[in-house]
Amino acid sequence: MPPDSVKFLFSETDPARLGPSCGEVAFVGRSNAGKSTLLNALFLKGLARVSGTPGCTRTINVYQVAAGRWLVDLPGYGFASGTEASRAGWGAMIEGYLTGRRNLRMIFVLVDAKVGPTKLDLQMLRWLQTQGLPWRVVATKSDQVKSARQQAQRRAVADAAGVLPENVAWISALENLGVRELRREVSSLLEG
Ligand SMILES: Nc1nc2c(ncn2[C@@H]2O[C@H](COP(=O)(O)OP(=O)(O)O)[C@@H](O)[C@H]2O)c(=O)[nH]1
Ligand SMILES: [Mg+2]
């Protein structure tokens, strides 16, 4: 799966209109967690825009890796702007998507490595668990954690999320750490 074969398919606000895929993985996280940057580093050079305005992307963005194999970029949660109603709409959109996809193989939940999971991140993780959906924590921007603190911080992030440290994908898009491994994982999830 050469990275340059990835292309943008469409944006959608109503998950009911998405149509079937053969396999898909989704990326979610609070705004500014580094999702666009990571997607670019993984596959989408120049396609997933790195936004200066958190919370700008309010659509489900679908990219195709191969015929019927999708990467799904979900809007960031937890930004302050927007009305109650639009935030409620956001929740319905995300939940509708996450619970409605037969071939959703993994939900990558991005958290800031230095900050660890926020209240909203933990809410999301708990909700995914209660829904019985497959998820994995991806700690981004790990370059911002001091070298001497790397191991302890990875453990702290894992503890907070209720998983083992080795089950947290520890990533820096900036320094290209862990990116290749995650790309391989995504590729193999989408195979078959
Ligand atoms: N130091 C560092 N900064 C990063 C990394 N990834 C993203 N950022 C920065 O974090 C901010 C938010 O990134 P963005 O990808 O737009 O986050 P999104 O809102 O989740 O899509 C930007 O200023 C990025 O440059 C990383 O691996 N290391
Ligand atoms: Mg973004």
For residue 164, the domain's CATH number is 3.40.50.300
Q: Which residues contact 52 (CB under 8 A, 6 or more apart)?
A: none
Q: Is the CB of 96 under 6 A from ligand 1?
A: no
Which ligand ends up closest to the CA of 57?
2
Q: Is the pLDDT of residue 192 over 80?
A: no
| The predicted structure's pLDDT at residue 56 | 52
Does residue 61's CB lie within 6 angstroms of at least one atom of ligand 1? no
State the CB neighbour count (10 A cutoff) for residue 138: 25
pLDDT at 93 over 80: yes
* Residue 152, pLDDT score: 98
- Can you tell me the mean pLDDT for 65-84? 81
Higher pLDDT, 113 or 36: 113
Q: pLDDT: is 92 or 190 the higher one?
A: 190
- What pLDDT, on a 0 to 100 scale, did the predictor assign at position 104? 98
Stated as kind and residue range, the H or E segment containing 135 is strand 135-140
- CB 174 less than 6 A from any atom of ligand 1: yes
* Number of structural domains found in the chain: 1
Q: Which pLDDT score, from 0 to 100, does residue 58 have? A: 81
- Domain limits for position 38: 3-190
